[in-house]
Amino acid sequence: MTGGGLLVAGTTSDAGKSVVTAGICRWLVRQGVKVAPFKAQNMSLNSFVTREGAEIGRAQAMQAQACRVEPTALMNPVLLKPGGEQSSQVVLLGRPVGELSARGYHGGRQQQLLGTVLECLAELRGTYDAVICEGAGSPAEINLRRTDIVNMGIARNAGLPVLVVGDIDRGGVFASFFGTVALLSREDQELIAGFLVNKFRGDVSLLEPGLDMLHDLTGRRTYGVLPFRHGLGIDEEDGLRISLRGAVRESEVSSPFGEDVLRVAVCAVPLMSNFTDVDALAAEPGVVVRFVDRPEELADADLVVIPGTRGTVRALEWLRERGLARALVRRAAEGRPILGICGGFQLLGEHIEDDVESRRGQVEGLGVLPVRVRFAREKTLTRPTGEALGERVDGYEIHHGVADVTGGEAFLDGCRVGRTWGTHWHGSLESDGFRRAFLREVATAAGRRFVPAPDTSFAALREEQLDRLGDLIEQHADTDALWRLIESGAPQGLPFIPPGAPA
């Protein structure tokens, strides 16, 4: 028997598809439904390693957590990792299979993957009571519809009803809803069941006349109006929107447990990957995390984090162009704390030999850590465990660079020299005991009277966030109507809205 399904699409990128999908998943699992997430094709530099060693988007790993199931490669069969403006690494069923230009991918390769995508979805639907699928961008990208495998392409082939999410905080949500439907073919429109308004501020009664008019215009109902809530942007797919100077990582603002706050500056390097590594820091009471791109912004930072990047050599050049490289070298010499993670660790070394990622050959690093890096064609995808600062640490590794550590003090798989630490391990700061021990060292080095709260559990905070997403769906959506969609598909007889898709 095939389980029920739903595709959560959006009027735009960042309309809230990922968190709405997670919210629906958490609501369903609390009702006793065995549910799984699915995203056919994901473009993201934020990825995760499953227990079987497969790389998938972090958003799908987060959604799996919302479902209380272990994430697998089936949940995100195609992952695209941008390496520049024109090309991406293609990760298929958790393993990299090559680099393709956008033209090459959309020119034929994407459509070839449809069979694999449908097989993965069918396997999930044969295992779970329901599969909640997430679309990408907008389903009305008329220039890409012919080769689409993530929005209406998957909906049509799998017979999925589609719920379109719109971010009303951006404005223009009614035009976006109407236009999305009106640019689809008759066959695609038959699957667009209705709409969900996201991030609404104010009195819902003032919105209702517009929702009634939208129903009259499209013949489709609105399944809910979700209020705006801070702190729910968990595990986003795209690091670009937070890479602007001065952007502060979204988190609940809490007073410090000790007398001082601790200031963390994250270098917003190009092609930043897994910037979610700093979420665990932002969750600590009294820790302020901001993204920076100028050397003067490092001056008052108690800790500087150089995060992962899909372009280590490019990030190194960027740091030098902006004067950040000199500031980092000076900071290390002064014994002021720096943490390099993955690509950030690699560029702190003596030199990088890269014939894989940038194909630039040998490049001099910042020379802060006694490390030499050689890029291998085979990608390392592991879930290591270990110990550091007397505490157990769990992490995951996603990298082509192989580090030869020639000195310093051992630190996870990397090393430490003075107050500069480097590791390939993503997610290490989510280990509560290690994070507290690390922050105590940073505070001592910075001369801050900061004390980590003794009871902060990152896993518990993540569960609270997922429950809040489930609460939003349960309290502000028509859950009975949503379940009918999931179980029975789109309503019959939905009207066609002209002009439809171009010929």
What are the residue numbers of the active site?
A: 342, 426
Beta strand residue intervals within 50-93, DSSP E:
55-57, 78-82, 87-92
In whole angstroms, give the CA distance from residue 106 to residue 389: 48
| DSSP type of residue 260 | S
Quick one: which of 459, 498, 441 has its CA closest to 62?
459
DSSP state letters, 289-324? EEEE-SGGGGTT-SEEEE-EES-HHHHHHHHHHTTH
Q: List Cβ neighbours of 322 (8 Å cut-off, separation of 6 or more).
A: 293, 294, 295
In whole angstroms, give the CA distance from residue 299 to residue 297: 6
Quick one: which of 81, 112, 107, 109 has its CA closest to 94?
81
In whole angstroms, give the CA distance from residue 259 to residue 322: 34
| DSSP type of residue 146 | G
In whole angstroms, give the CA distance from residue 208 to residue 249: 33
Quick one: which of 213, 282, 242, 236 has its CA closest to 439?
282
Q: Say how many CA atoms lie within 13 Å of 301 toward its Cβ.
A: 29
Tokens of 35: 């549910």
In whole angstroms, give the CA distance from residue 488 to residue 196: 19
In whole angstroms, give the CA distance from residue 407 to residue 403: 12
Given a contact cutoff of 8 angstroms between Cβ atoms, the answer to whether 44 and 59 are in contact is: yes
Q: Mind spelling out the 3-state secondary structure of 405-465?
A: ECCCEEECCEEEECCEEEECCECHHHCHHHHHHHHHHHHHHHCCCCCCCCCCCHHHHHHHH
In whole angstroms, give the CA distance from residue 6 to residue 487: 9
Given a contact cutoff of 8 angstroms between Cβ atoms, the answer to whether 378 and 430 are in contact is: no
**Residues in a beta bridge with 397:** 382
Strands 287-292 and 308-309: unpaired
